[in-house]
Amino acid sequence: MRARTRSALRVLFLTVMILSAAAVGQSFLQSTAGAETGTETATATPAATTPDDATTVAEENRSAGGDATATAAPPSSGLTEVDVESRFQRAKSETLPGENWSTQRVRAASGERGLTVVATQGFYVGDQTAELAALTPDGSVVYFNDTYRVYFDVDPVEGERYTVEYVAAKHFEGDDCEQFHSGQCTRNVVNRVNLTTGDHETVYAEMTPQVASGRWHDVDRINDTHLIVADIVEDSVFVVDTRDDSVVWEWRFDEHYSREAGGQGGDWTHVNDVEVLSDGRIMLSPRNMDEVIFLDRTDGGGYAVDENWTLGEDGNHSILYEQHNADYIPRAYGGPAVVVADSENARVVEYQRVDGEWVQSWSWQDVRLKWPRDADRLPNGNTLLVDSNGNRLVEVNADDEIVWSATVGMPYDVERIGTGDESEGGPAARLRGRAPVEPRTQPEDGANGTATPPSVGASLETTGDRTPADRFWLTLKDVTPSLVTNGILYTAPPWVLFTDLAFAALFVLVGLCWATSEFYWAGHTLRGVAAGIGRRVRAGVENVR
């Protein structure tokens, strides 16, 4: 090969490696800049407010430990990205739960978008702590709590505007665990808190042996006195009477599944979601089975899985892959349909019940989406979701455009206050274009209920337009093994995106090609190198003798 060609190839190799390194470096610098400044980006057209309104909001932010500079755009302006991590850090030392935030102030600062409550699992990311926080649209922290080691489910309390119930866990050691004859134990709790007053009470709690803070991911309220709990460790769901903490009913997954299905060892089903439907059925999400299942009453008064309604199939990752937090949409709002955070597939997906079968009716993902673990369809047709590994909350509209997002470390569950438990009243994808939807008077869904199919010739699945660059990256992401990608992203620093992994892989691949080329151009061969090494080894042995 001519010297000129070799020089051109060296320039090409060097250029590609520099550009790849620069792309990864740019992601790091953007993340660092956002963390240091706590900035947010607003849409170009803010909603109109009077000077007095802006002054009031600014005063509220200052009094509650918020960033006064963040009020240049009012809360209703449709902020597209908000970094609240710096405010969380300030809240740890300066803000008490509910301090200086009256109901009237929260309502004024929340605007049309409303108050967002997020529960985080931060301890899985380095040395970050977990927190429960309530945020206005501009990222001001109305309520903050980092008492527990981890937070999971959070639900609004019916009839109480700014009161929520949440699931959390805290670890103990030493004498506190004496009853278990163990050096470590965990207190799992369901607590209720008013976000404006800070009033706090424990609804139900249980001490359990060992450090098992992932034992309860979800709890749903049945009535004023009873809760249904999804227990990961016991692979069951049970109903507890909170008046005396007695367990009045339990259903175990080994009543339906073989131990050959799902996960193994101490994490068999990993049931991460339970929801009691209005018709009395119970919807469950056993993550390790890649399924969402429905329990229905039997003639004998018990419950059993209605296999005709099962969404997904163990090991069939084209439907669901280790999903989280299914959100049920009833017939009255265009269902039966289920919105699911399809975690390992790095997408949020909706399945519609049509003619007794589940049909994919909508999906959403962007290049940044790493590992979604919650998705709620809001009454206005938007979808509010959690990107755990991506460290953000995202709200997308009916055109699948991001209209609001917030940077939050390892979020697990998110709720929008004022939209009901699990954002009840959110329409199915086929009705999002004309939300809000007035509920239709129809019979309950029932085990045999089917949805009215879309008009003839209509496309059932709807997705937003994507740029050629987005299509390229998403296609590349689809062909990359998700367990490998998600495993690397899970252990990587929070700022690392899928595109960074691709550019890093390109950097390594080009570097290897360059090194191989130089090796070849120098006249070396693998056989010759091996022979040379062999001669040196033999010479060394002779010298030793």
pLDDT tens per residue, range 368-378 = 898 999 999 99
Residue 312 resides in a domain = no
Per-residue pLDDT for 98 more than 70? no
| Range(s) of the domain holding residue 131 | 39-146
* Per-residue pLDDT, 424: 80
Last residue of a domain, one of 110, 126, 146: 146
Together in a domain, 67 and 124: yes
Q: Which residues contact 411 (CB under 8 A, 6 or more apart)?
A: 118, 119, 120, 121, 373, 374, 386, 387, 388, 391, 392, 393
Residue 72 resides in a domain = yes
Per-residue pLDDT for 74 more than 60? no
Residue 124 resides in a domain = yes
Which residue, 75, 65, 141, is CA-closest to 108? 75
Last residue of a domain, one of 85, 114, 146: 146
Q: Which residues contact 338 (CB under 8 A, 6 or more apart)?
A: 283, 292, 311, 326, 327, 328, 329, 350, 351, 358
Together in a domain, 45 and 141: yes
Together in a domain, 73 and 107: yes
Site of tokens 């073989």: 258
Contact yes or no for 312/326 (Cβ under 8 A): no
Together in a domain, 14 and 77: no
Q: Which residues contact 99 (CB under 8 A, 6 or more apart)?
A: 64, 65, 198
The tokens for 65 are 């430990």
Together in a domain, 97 and 23: no
pLDDT tens-digit readout, 205-226: 999 887 766 789 999 999 999 9
Mean per-residue pLDDT for 450-477?
Answer: 55
Which residue, 103, 111, 115, 105, is CA-closest to 63? 105
The tokens for 186 are 């965990």
Q: Which amino acid is at 43?
A: T
Contact yes or no for 181/174 (Cβ under 8 A): no
Together in a domain, 22 and 44: no
Together in a domain, 131 and 48: yes
Residue 524 resides in a domain = yes
Together in a domain, 9 and 80: no
Is residue 52 helix, strand or coil? helix
* Per-residue pLDDT, 100: 65
The tokens for 34 are 């956002």
Q: Backbone phi, then psi, for 71, in 5-degree steps?
A: -100, 15
Together in a domain, 10 and 74: no
Together in a domain, 71 and 114: yes
Residue 8 resides in a domain = yes
Name the domain count of the chain: 2
Contact yes or no for 364/383 (Cβ under 8 A): yes
pLDDT tens-digit readout, 353-369: 999 999 999 999 988 89
The reported pTM is 0.79
Q: Which residues contact 361 (CB under 8 A, 6 or more apart)?
A: 337, 350, 351, 352, 428, 429, 430, 460, 461, 462
Within 163-290, where are the H helices? none
Q: Which residues contact 224 (CB under 8 A, 6 or more apart)?
A: none
Contact yes or no for 328/338 (Cβ under 8 A): yes
Last residue of a domain, one of 105, 127, 146: 146
Residue 106 resides in a domain = yes
If pLDDT is split at 50, 70 and 90, which confidence band does 40 have?
A: very low
* Per-residue pLDDT, 412: 95
CB atoms within 10 A of CB 397: 18
* Start-to-end Cα distance in the chain: 45
If pLDDT is split at 50, 70 and 90, which confidence band does 529 have?
A: low
Candidate from 92-101, 108-117, 469-478, 530-539 with smallest mean pLDDT:
92-101
Together in a domain, 12 and 101: no
* Per-residue pLDDT, 4: 84
